[in-house]
Structure 1
Amino acid sequence: MGLFSGQFANVVEWEEWNDQMIFYKWSNKEIKKGSRLILRPGQDAIFLYNGKIEGIFKDDGEYDIESQIIPFLSTLKGFKFGFNSGIRAEVLFVNTKEFLVKWGTKNPINIPTPALPGGMPIRANGSFTFKVKDYVSLIDNIAGTKKQYLVDDVKQRILAILDQLLMCWISKEGKDMFNLQANAFEIARGIRDDLDMEIMRDGLTITNFTIMSFNYPAEIQSMINKTASHSMIGNMNTYTQASMVEGMTSGKMQGGGAASDMAGMIMGMNMANQMMQNISPLNSAASNQAPATESKPNFCPNCGQKTGDGNFCSNCGQKLIP
């Protein structure tokens, strides 16, 4: 038997390794005497016999199937290879890494809002991560009919329902349509939970979902920028005056000397009027104040007699308060 053992030996391994593949099925081959299993880091090997899981191996390395694998398989325990016999089994290799996928809306999503009858067209982008969680569900719903499964397959499935989920969570609880970035974390958390429920039945799980940014139409974005600028400026009169001064001193004001002089005169008049308006309330307040009262002397300036509580001297009748 030693003479022929080599010709029946084979290697069970992930022959088409690709970090964008979620699983690969080694099948339609006989596992023969002398066969070896090669398990690389980040891979799990699931032995299947008649469509059922017989054993799962997770430690990377090289194994002799006859002595190190078969003794641990429930149905095949005690199987002995004959001269021409082999095992018609399948081995499912699973990529255990966490997959990162970037996403972006292909078309604008019209979010209902009272301000715009047709809805607010919004785009968004971000990323999500997922991994394999339940091998039984994965085999029952996907691996049973597919030889391999790619990250792009999951991405296309997520994108097919992502627009509806974005619309649902943006509209939920009356989110501020013009300040969605402030609510991005809450919206992303809701979408992650919904997506996780959607792919859970296939043995996958969403480990994270993020929204990097929301994008508005150019006209809407311009309005948002102007509103933000106005709120930062506060006093529009001060802003206008400062802008005119800057234009004159920097030489950016167009129209020649006459136009510049006229603009300067108008600006000076406006500034003077503004100053007078600011001063007028102060003058009015000052005129409304009661005149300060003069103090009464302690001694009469005419006769020197000490004064009392009256407004005239009790000795000579001199008026004490002018």
Structure 2
Amino acid sequence: MGLFKNQLANVVEWEEYRDDVIFYKWNNSEIKKGSRLIIRPGQDAIFLYNGVTEGVFEKEGNYDIESDIMPFLSTLKGFKFGFNSGIRAEVIFINTKEFTMKWGTKQAVNLPTPALPGGMPIRANGTFQFKVGSYQMLIDKVAGIKKQYTTEEVRERVLSVLNQLLLRWIVREGKDMFNIQANAVEISEGIMGELNTELEKIGLAATGFQIDSVSYPEEVQEMVTKVAGQSMVGDMGRYQQMAMIDAMTNTSNNGGGNNMAADMASMQMGMMMGQQMVNQMQNAMQGQNNQNIAQGQVQNTASNVQPQSQPQPQAEQPAGGVPNFCPNCGQKTEGSKFCPNCGQKLVP
């Protein structure tokens, strides 16, 4: 009798557990008298009878179904196992962990821009997280027709709507298409909200969404990199000098005269430096010439100004009344009353 009883017993468990499986449906055969339920860490077990949820068991452990499970089932709590009778019930095991998946745009997302009639094509990638949110919705929408459900199936569902969500949150919020990375947190939060609404339809819940990188067409990326480099350098003359020195240093380190290409590069750099020095000398000379011309113009202007007539110095008048010098011609009078040179009367 004991041997026959052991043949009727079975174990209800998720034997082939996989991290990428969201749920597993056990429906191998009917549950016999003496059967046991095994719930492992990170699992919940849901009993269904005739498609109706009878009970949800969340605590891990090894349970006797007749004594530990049956008393808690909704409509089967009074069920009595017979010698050959069992319960044709289903048990769905739920993976309760949070799943992390990578995503990437299948096709380029064309962002509208007046400069490009077809839009600016961009690509993006990142990660998102989700977990089971509603057991009953998951059973009604997915578990009723599937024996198991994988994370790859969820990823395909997310990718089918992701391009639209990216376009909506970048364009609608008026974000600069060249600064998406700077606004990635705000854009990600908006996308996660709408993505959660989409996943709730099948009993899942989005718990996170991240944008790791955004890529542009190669030509646009090169242009952005060049503009960024120029803005960082500031003094383009100094940048050119540094580039010449680096090129010549690299040429010297790579063998110099033994490499024809290196020699020609060095010659070209030398000619460029020589031409730059000539240009600088010419500019300096031109500046000096301009300065000399300006000084000459100032001198000519000064020479054209007529000097004002200076008042003649008054002849010194000695005590005797005769001046020492003629006030008319400046000749020394030597005490005479009349100028010996012009005859001017010296005494009034």
Q: Determine if the TM-score, normalized by the shorter chain, exceeds 0.5.
A: yes
Q: What is the CA deviation profile of residues 137-159 of structure 1, one whole-angstrom value per residue up to 9, with x for unaligned ones?
A: 11111112211111111111111
Tell me, in whole angstroms, the C-alpha distance in 2 between the residues paired with 1:54 and 1:256: 82
The one-letter code sitting in structure 2 at the alignment partner of 1:265 is G
The one-letter code sitting in structure 2 at the alignment partner of 1:110 is N
Q: CA deviation at 1:85?
A: 1.0
Q: 1:256 to 1:55 in 2, by over 3 A?
A: closer
**1:268 counterpart (277, 296, 301):** 277
Q: 1:258 to 1:60 in 2, by over 3 A?
A: closer
Q: TM-score w.r.t. structure 2 length?
A: 0.75
* Contact 2:106 2:159 survives alignment (8 Å): no
Q: Does 1:135 align with 2:135?
A: yes
Q: CA deviation at 1:170?
A: 1.8
Which ranges of structure 1 fall in alignment gaps of 5 or more residues?
289-322
Tell me, in whole angstroms, the C-alpha distance in 1 between the residues paired with 2:194 and 2:49: 35
Q: CA deviation at 1:276?
A: 7.1
The one-letter code sitting in structure 2 at the alignment partner of 1:180 is I
Tell me, in whole angstroms, the C-alpha distance in 2 between the residues paired with 1:96 and 1:250: 58
Tell me, in whole angstroms, the C-alpha distance in 2 between the residues paired with 1:10 and 1:134: 29
**Match in the other structure for 2:9:** 9
Tell me, in whole angstroms, the C-alpha distance in 2 between the residues paired with 1:86 and 1:33: 6
Tell me, in whole angstroms, the C-alpha distance in 2 between the residues paired with 1:138 and 1:213: 32
Q: 1:102 to 1:229 in 2, by over 3 A?
A: same
**Match in the other structure for 2:322:** none
Q: CA deviation at 1:219?
A: 0.5
The within-5 A match list for 1:215-234 is 215-234=215-234
Which piece of structure 1 moves more, 256-265 or 30-39? Answer: 256-265
Q: 1:247 to 1:280 in 2, by over 3 A?
A: farther
**Match in the other structure for 1:74:** 74
**Match in the other structure for 1:173:** 173
Q: Does 1:36 align with 2:36?
A: yes
Q: CA deviation at 1:260?
A: 5.8
* Contact 2:244 2:269 survives alignment (8 Å): no
Q: CA deviation at 1:136?
A: 1.1
Q: CA deviation at 1:111?
A: 1.3
Tell me, in whole angstroms, the C-alpha distance in 1 between the residues paired with 2:266 and 2:7: 99
Q: Does 1:125 align with 2:125?
A: yes
* Contact 1:27 1:90 survives alignment (8 Å): yes
- Aligned CA RMSD, in angstroms, stands at 2.7
Percent of pairs with identical residues: 58
Q: What is the CA deviation profile of residues 23-51 of structure 1, one whole-angstrom value per residue up to 9, with x for unaligned ones?
A: 11112521111000011111100011121
The one-letter code sitting in structure 1 at the alignment partner of 2:99 is F
Q: CA deviation at 1:187?
A: 1.4
Q: CA deviation at 1:201?
A: 2.2
Tell me, in whole angstroms, the C-alpha distance in 1 between the residues paired with 2:153 and 2:284: 70
**Match in the other structure for 1:317:** none
Which piece of structure 1 moves more, 9-18 or 119-128? Answer: 9-18
Tell me, in whole angstroms, the C-alpha distance in 1 between the residues paired with 2:289 and 2:25: 89
Q: CA deviation at 1:235?
A: 1.7
Q: Quick one: higher RCO (CA 8 Å, sep 6+), 1 or 2?
A: 1
* Contact 2:169 2:187 survives alignment (8 Å): yes
The one-letter code sitting in structure 1 at the alignment partner of 2:276 is M
* Contact 2:24 2:147 survives alignment (8 Å): yes
* Contact 2:45 2:56 survives alignment (8 Å): yes
Q: Based on CA coordinates, which of the two structures has the bigger radius of gyration?
A: 2
* Contact 1:241 1:267 survives alignment (8 Å): no
* Contact 1:110 1:122 survives alignment (8 Å): yes
The one-letter code sitting in structure 1 at the alignment partner of 2:105 is T
* Contact 2:10 2:31 survives alignment (8 Å): yes
**Match in the other structure for 2:61:** 61
**Match in the other structure for 2:104:** 104
**Match in the other structure for 1:51:** 51
